[in-house]
Structure 1
Amino acid sequence: MSRLVQDFRHAVRACLRAPLVSALAVVAFALGIGVTTAVFSIFYNVLLKPLPFPDPEQLAIVYDTQPACATCPASFPKYHDWKARNQVFSAIGGSMQAGFVLSGRGEPVQVAALAATASLADVFRIRPMFGRWFSEEEDQPNGRKVIVLTHGFWTRQFARDPSIVGQPITLDGEPYDVIGVMPEHFSHRRADAIVPLALKLDPALRGNHFLVTYARMKPGVTVERAANEMRAIGVALAKELGGNHGVDVQAYREVVVGAVRPQLRMLLGAVIAVLLIGCANVANLLLAAGLARRRELGIRLALGARMGDLARQLIAEGTILATVGGAIGLLLTFWLLRTFIVLAGTQLPRAATIAIDSRVVLFAAAVTATVGVCCGLWPLVRMRTRELAASVREGDTRNGSGTGRQMGNGLVVGEVALAFALLVGGGLFLKNLLLLQSRDAGIQIEQVIA
């Protein structure tokens, strides 16, 4: 332990003796690690992190398929038919977007709400952190007007006041009783609040498609089996009622994040290429500094030091620079995350759940340790023992030996070649990302509003 402490003391002094080199290395590490960690945080939280619901693999979305729309919402009568006839779902529910104006509490506020069936809570198996969810009786025409707030809206509008539960608020001039507040991890269609759908079943509205339908498959039921059964129900409904009754079932997670998976993979690959460029520059910068220290390292070998001792010393120097850069990069990650999320807007799913947690910090620490060790060892890998011993015999290295000049020339050529290769790789990643974003959606989206 004392030897390790001594190595780090020597490493700190060595870094302070070359402030310009150290500063450049820290800046390169900070930028590379910061950007990579920010993109990994988005990649992990969107694609890898489990959905915040019990048994999320059982969740599915049920679509009404039409000739002009393969993934249409359901009509209320069709939703009731699906709910009554299926044998593969343990729960099925739906929601539609609704808008209100909150008044009576200062300036009027626009509320992006959802009108949902009472069974939606059973689909996601989630309950309010305060209060309760609305009942089936409240989800009936002319039922009691109640509302459940999301955690974000409760925080912004009511300053996390738990006493708001049980109090009335005014929406579109009508009183609604606040009966619950959802937990922080619940984020559904970017809603501020949820109210009962409270619709009357009217067969004449069978062609009115507005209800996005969610379902929880029974244990052991696959998406393929659920889709086959629901298609059979659609065929039966078409025979009974006429018209189109096509049905499709897709995994909830795939619907939520499947569209952005290729883009995020490309983005992560691009920033890793940028990180490698930064590491290559730092490694060659440290190699250049190491060439100037060949005589110092050679004298240590002559005095009895082993190559392992020199390796520990250089690893300590690289680790110190990488740790300082990684700490700055982690702070930079917070700002980069907010910027990425704002720029992505509504195109980034699960944006509300993106945060820097222990896994992201561990990733940053692993990247920091890896680049610190690799960049620290690079000078020793390039300088062999015989060259270090020869540097002692050469005396003052400022005039440069043939070997030193050859290594310097090789350093320049190697850095240019490596940087060029990584830049080409990063450019290809970016090109593929842009191609994915500009890919034809298969429908006309220009001059179309919703």
Structure 2
Amino acid sequence: MQVALQDLRFAFRQIIRNPGFSLTAVLSLTLGIGATVAVYSILYDAVLHPWPYAGIERICDVWLTDNAGHEGTWDLTGPQIRQLRQSHAVEDVVTSNYTNQTVTGGDIPEDVVVDEMSGSHFQFLGLTPVLGRYITPTDVPDGQDPQPVAVLSYKFWQRHYRGDPAVVGKTIQLNHKTYTILGVMPMRFTWRDGDIYTPLKMESDQAHRYGPEIKLKPGISFEAAAAEFRNLYQEFDKQTPNVFPKQFKVSVRGLADTYTRDLKKTMYLLFGAVALLLAIGCGNVSILLLARGTARQHEFAVRSAVGASQFRIVRQLLTESLLLSGVGAGLGVFVAYQSIAFIVPRLPDHSYPYEADFHINLPVLFFSVGLAILSGVVFGLFPALQSSQPKISQVMQAGTRRLTGSVKGRRMHTALIAGQIALTLLLMTAAGAAIQSFVRMNTVSLGYETQHTMSVEIPIRENAHTTWADRGRFLAELRDKIAATPGILSVGISTNATPPNSGWRVPVEVLGKPAAQEQEAHVEFVSPEYFSTLRIPFVKGRVWEQSEVERGATLVLVNQAFVRHYLAGEDAVGHSLRVPQFASLPPMLLAANGITGWLQIIGVVSDSLDDGLDKPVAPAVYAPYTLVMPPFTQVLVRTQSEPLVQVRSIRQRIASIDPDQQIVSDVRDLQGWIQHEPEFERGRLISILFGAFAFLGLTLAAVGLYSVVSYTVLQRTSELGVRVALGARRRDVLSLVARSAATSIGIGIAAGLALSFSLNRLIANWIESGVRDPFLILAVALILIAVAALACLVPARRATAIDPMVALRCE
């Protein structure tokens, strides 16, 4: 024990005596371990194991893919869900219905998300309430109205009732209907982001449709379930025509594929980046330890000469390496905690289940720390093991600074630096592609103006304005009231048409043109003021008159993309189109007469983004908002100044029409809508983190190169002094020092270019940048060469300032 403490004290003195070396080594491990553990922990908790529900690996969805490659999940009728429940592969099928409702009966109405859940839904998920009980099938008798009961989410219970443990048995009003509170679910139960859960009565008609959640029986694979569901969905297609794609393939995917497939690619990409950073960090520590150990070979020889055994020297170096690795690992855990707190709030909205419980992942923590310790131990002991090979007398005669290490050691230095530079170049190439893609996304032409404009979402109260005429009058009155607010310039209704991702993508048919599976368009329901509010110019034709809007005229506008794709550039005005799916709209969507027939095109508008920021403008059809009116709408408001300051006034205007009518609390301006697009948030996250990782990798590579060149200059002090004394010029000394690092840099750059060019297409596809720019790789290589040259220049300039007399006295 006393000897171990002695080794530990000496190791501390070595660390303090060499602060630059120690700090660089510790920071290299800290950054590599911290970033790797943080990113993998998020990947594990948000993508691989985010749910706390029972049998989560057997919960799945049925996906349909059409001939154009478009895929999605489709809702089913009540009888179809019951039929699906009888399948051999299925243990249970449940469903829910998402609604916005208002808590009434208090001082201030509160907008809440209410999930209506089928009777066995809570048993299906398998979490136990923290208070009371959950909804069971006895609360939803088959064929009867459900009981007026409710279950609260944990967050709503804390927010609305301040965690009152006596809440069970109390009542709550939703849209003036009273419900008895049965219980409170645990904190991690956030299914469908609901605030309150109530029983769902599953109707038996063909009009009401529900999204099924399927739990397979134990031992049933997704492939076997898909084979069984294929014929069943073909039968469903015959039961409800014009609902499913004309031709489709059936596949079954787990819940993670449905909710986290986009985030999975992002997190795997980031994990690859931090794995590179960890490798660069461990390589940097290896380079530092190897260079430091080579410089200490004279010390090892002296120790051996005075009686120290090889084991004693190895044990001392092992203590020093473990101390450095331990400090770096401890700080890495701290950095991982801080990194998780930084990254999680910046993940794209709704890209991961909110049930996820983020924490440090212990297996990857142990792996990262073990890799760091292994690197420290192996490369820390390497010089000591090498020092036992030459004769002690030869080492002593070599002086204190002339020894440059063995050929094997120099080759090890060269290989490590070259590998570090190659990995850094690859990481910088990926970062450059991500940043270039994000910059391009920010400069894309929108086709509309976002300045001083916001979108206000208005969920229409349940059982309010249930007829087509009443709902149309209500929406028109909302628009007029808001437009009369001082400071508001224009107001347009955009039921489902707030860009840059707008409309319902559905198949369309053009009169006189051959129908094709690929003929799809984004159908958007708007008022005439929509185009002037967004400053979208007209190309040809006219907009609807107010009388046409009020009667739900079957007149539509199309964008230029529609004309290019489906009319071959012909004059669109006078053509007609039809939307087959309008024949099977659910009753919640109030439709005007004649909607199933041909819709006449009366105008063409300029293209504006409607399919996200990273895709071309899709064909669009603009219909009067009265043609189809769901139980919600959005209002676009253009103001004279900052739009969000008008939210309070808009609330008051809406309350003057209906005191119980709420608006969605998350009101954003149109720039905010852009910034909340999944591809924007993903691009921003990747560019920030990749840029940071690339900068850290570049810094570590530069430090590693600097340390090697510095130690080389230190070891060759006497040689360089002799050269200067014999007349060597400054540039000769600079060239000599530079050549010592040129081999490593050249090999590293060549290997990095080979990796980057070979993986260029893969990097672009994973980043989803569409950027495959070889000049970007060359530019990154030039930056890395410049940084490497700068890292060599500082110690090289120090070599040119050597005083020959001082250098010769080193002997």
In the superposition, the TM-score normalised over structure 1's length comes to 0.82
Aligned length in residues: 440
Partner of 1:30 in structure 2?
30
Structure showing greater relative contact order (alpha-carbon pairs closer than 8 Å, 6 or more residues apart): 1
Which protein has the larger Cα radius of gyration, Structure 1 or Structure 2? 2
Query: Quick one: which of 346, 365, 381 aligns to 2:349?
Result: 346
Matches within 5 A, 1:255-404: 255-346=258-349, 348-350=351-353, 352-357=355-360, 360-382=361-383, 384-385=386-387, 386=389, 389=392, 392-394=395-397, 397=400, 400-401=401-402, 403=404
Q: Residue 129 of structure 1 contacts residue 180 of structure 1 at CA under 8 Å; is this kept in 2? A: yes
Distance in 1, matches of 2:22 and 2:126, equals 53
1:367–1:80 distance in 2 versus 1, CA, 3 Å: closer
Task: Give CA deviations for 1:198-236 in whole Å, capped at 9, x if unaligned.
Answer: 354333x15xx5x32111112333222322322322333
Deviation at 1:12, TM superposition (A): 2.1
Partner of 1:128 in structure 2?
129
Q: Note the residue ranges of structure 1 that are not aligned, 5 or more in a row.
A: none
Task: Give CA deviations for 1:17-43 in whole Å, capped at 9, x if unaligned.
Answer: 223322222222222211111011012
Q: Residue 225 of structure 2 contacts residue 252 of structure 2 at CA under 8 Å; is this kept in 1? A: yes
Distance in 1, matches of 2:32 and 2:353, equals 25
Which residue identity is paired with 2:278?
A: L
2:192 is paired with a residue whose SS is: coil
Deviation at 1:142, TM superposition (A): 4.8
Q: Note the residue ranges of structure 2 that are not aligned, 5 or more in a row.
A: 441-504, 506-517, 523-608, 613-633, 635-811
In the superposition, the TM-score normalised over structure 2's length comes to 0.48
Normalized per residue, the structure richer in helix is 1
Distance in 1, matches of 2:65 and 2:294, equals 69
Of 311-320 and 147-156, the range deviating more from structure 2 = 147-156
Task: Give CA deviations for 1:362-388 in whole Å, capped at 9, x if unaligned.
Answer: 532442243134224314424622458
Deviation at 1:58, TM superposition (A): 2.1
Q: Residue 262 of structure 2 contacts residue 351 of structure 2 at CA under 8 Å; is this kept in 1? A: no
1:295–1:98 distance in 2 versus 1, CA, 3 Å: same
Matches within 5 A, 1:186-205: 186-203=189-206, 205=207
Partner of 1:45 in structure 2?
45
2:285 is paired with a residue whose SS is: helix
1:115 is paired with a residue whose SS is: strand
Deviation at 1:157, TM superposition (A): 4.5
1:348 is paired with a residue whose SS is: coil
Matches within 5 A, 1:71-150: 71-77=72-78, 79-83=80-84, 85-102=86-103, 109-139=110-140, 142-150=145-153
Partner of 2:222 in structure 1?
223
1:105–1:380 distance in 2 versus 1, CA, 3 Å: farther
Distance in 2, matches of 1:6 and 1:155, equals 56
Which residue identity is paired with 1:447?
A: D
Deviation at 1:180, TM superposition (A): 1.8
1:122–1:431 distance in 2 versus 1, CA, 3 Å: farther
Partner of 1:235 in structure 2?
234
Partner of 2:60 in structure 1?
60
Distance in 2, matches of 1:128 and 1:167, equals 16
Of 244-253 and 300-309, the range deviating more from structure 2 = 244-253
Distance in 2, matches of 1:308 and 1:420, equals 34
The answer on 1:447 being equivalent to 2:610 is yes
Task: Give CA deviations for 1:257-280 in whole Å, capped at 9, x if unaligned.
Answer: 344333322221210111121222
Task: Give CA deviations for 1:379-435 in whole Å, capped at 9, x if unaligned.
Answer: 4424622458367514752xx315359899878755642321111332465579899
Q: Residue 41 of structure 1 contacts residue 356 of structure 1 at CA under 8 Å; is this kept in 2? A: yes
The answer on 1:252 being equivalent to 2:251 is no
1:98–1:238 distance in 2 versus 1, CA, 3 Å: closer
1:249 is paired with a residue whose SS is: strand
Q: Residue 26 of structure 1 contacts residue 324 of structure 1 at CA under 8 Å; is this kept in 2? A: yes
The answer on 1:166 being equivalent to 2:169 is yes
Of 184-193 and 35-44, the range deviating more from structure 2 = 184-193
Which residue identity is paired with 2:221?
A: T
Of 407-416 and 295-304, the range deviating more from structure 2 = 407-416
